[in-house]
């Protein structure tokens, strides 16, 4: 980024235009949005306020922070890790390199849980979120459904600390319990589970070379890779759900479009389940698998 000159001050408008073009050259997916998020955070203001302050010139300390972030993001570091948060389901979640950055497609899991409750409330009003990461699914469910209680499990103690912080910040910590567990291994055997929701790791180790470099370099392997093909952890969770769900209980999974048919087949081959269907995400890709245990 060039230095300020007397004739061309680095106004907010000029910073955004220059930075968006710069990110575009580095093939970032959302160059303008990334520029706005970083500049708003550097200035300590809501992003919407940038448009009312186009002619303002940030101070040198703010510019220095912004320039550092611009260089790091151009080199591949995700915006969410730089600013320390990501929006999910209209809520702000703290994120660190210990957790996967929440994706828009994962919001569909929350939608499916809320819709299922509206159609036929279950008892007890309880959901287990497997592989909670930042806690985005469990917390969003608790925010949307005041009567719901959740158990959020993750194999990573560091991820659980992030999730606990988000639950506390967003005012639902009294209705979410956290448990360090590999899938359902440590969930008490007498716990009644009417609904299991999960965005498990589903990238195959064989796909590592095809991953976006920014994802491979910065996001936690533990939250990305689900085995050689990517289906192994999902298959294990399906087996556990078949045993642990209450009669008529729901299993709601996110998966890769490349694995959706395999996940569907794995469920339909298990006699514990009476039905299974696949739903598409906003990009019209097979993304969510919903199964019901026999009553």
- Distance CA(243)–CA(117), nearest Å, equals 22
Q: Can you give the pLDDT at residue 209? A: 76
Q: Can you give the pLDDT at residue 117? A: 97
Residue numbers in the chain where pLDDT is lower than 70: 1-7
Q: Can you give the pLDDT at residue 273? A: 98
By CB neighbour count within 10 A (0-12 exposed, 13-18 middle, 19+ buried), where does 209 fall? exposed
3-class secondary-structure state, position 156: coil
The candidate with the shortest Cα–Cα distance to 41, out of 3, 94, 5, 4, is 94
Q: Give residue-wise pLDDT tens across range 207-235.
A: 887 777 778 888 888 898 888 888 999 99
The candidate with the shortest Cα–Cα distance to 128, out of 289, 247, 250, is 250
Here the tokens at position 271 are 């006699």
Q: Can you give the pLDDT at residue 216? A: 81
Q: Can you give the pLDDT at residue 92? A: 96
Q: Can you give the pLDDT at residue 6? A: 52
Here the tokens at position 201 are 């790791």
Q: Can you give the pLDDT at residue 207? A: 82
Q: Can you give the pLDDT at residue 28? A: 81
Q: Can you give the pLDDT at residue 150? A: 98
Strands 245-254 and 286-293 come out as antiparallel
> In whole angstroms, how far apart are CA 149 and each of 124, 128, 265?
9, 9, 31
Q: Can you give the pLDDT at residue 225? A: 87
Residue range 98-293, CATH number? 3.40.50.150
Q: Can you give the pLDDT at residue 105? A: 94
Residue ranges of domains in the chain: 12-75, 98-293
By CB neighbour count within 10 A (0-12 exposed, 13-18 middle, 19+ buried), where does 119 fall? exposed
> In whole angstroms, how far apart are CA 106 and each of 18, 88, 100, 101, 229?
32, 9, 11, 10, 21
Q: Give residue-wise pLDDT tens across range 146-192.
A: 999 999 999 999 999 999 999 999 999 999 999 999 999 999 999 99
pTM score of the predicted model = 0.92
Percent of the chain, pLDDT > 70?
A: 98
Q: Can you give the pLDDT at residue 210? A: 78
Residue 125: φ, ψ to 5°: -75, 85
Sheet containing strand 245-254, strands side by side: 176-180, 149-154, 126-130, 193-198, 245-254, 286-293, 273-280
The candidate with the shortest Cα–Cα distance to 264, out of 278, 254, 251, 249, is 278
């Amino acid at each position: 980024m060039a230095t300020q000159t007397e004739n061309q001050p680095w106004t907010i408008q000029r910073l955004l235009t220059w930075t968006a073009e710069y990110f575009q050259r580095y093939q970032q997916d959302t160059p303008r949005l990334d520029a706005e998020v970083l500049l708003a955070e550097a200035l300590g203001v809501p992003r919407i306020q940038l448009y009312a302050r186009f002619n303002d010139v940030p101070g040198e300390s703010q510019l220095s922070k912004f320039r550092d972030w611009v260089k790091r993001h151009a080199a591949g570091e995700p915006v969410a890790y730089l600013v320390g948060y990501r929006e999910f389901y209209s809520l702000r979640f703290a994120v660190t390199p210990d957790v996967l950055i929440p994706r828009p497609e994962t919001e569909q899991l929350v939608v499916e849980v809320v819709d299922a409750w509206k159609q036929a409330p279950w008892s007890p009003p309880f959901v287990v979120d497997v592989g909670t990461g930042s806690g985005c699914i469990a917390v969003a469910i608790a925010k949307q459904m005041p009567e719901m209680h959740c158990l959020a499990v993750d194999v990573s103690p560091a991820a659980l600390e992030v999730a606990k912080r988000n639950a506390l910040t967003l005012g639902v910590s009294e209705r979410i319990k956290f448990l360090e567990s590999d899938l359902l291994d440590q969930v008490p055997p007498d716990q009644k589970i009417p609904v299991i929701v999960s965005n498990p790791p589903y990238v195959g180790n064989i796909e590592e070379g095809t991953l976006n470099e920014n994802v491979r370099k910065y996001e936690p392997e533990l939250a990305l890779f689900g085995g050689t093909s990517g289906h192994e952890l999902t298959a294990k969770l399906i087996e556990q759900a078949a045993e642990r769900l209450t009669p008529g209980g729901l299993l709601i999974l996110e998966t890769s479009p490349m694995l959706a048919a395999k996940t569907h087949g794995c469920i339909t081959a298990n006699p514990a389940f009476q039905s299974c269907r696949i739903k598409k995400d906003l990009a019209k890709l097979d993304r969510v698998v919903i199964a019901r245990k026999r009553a």
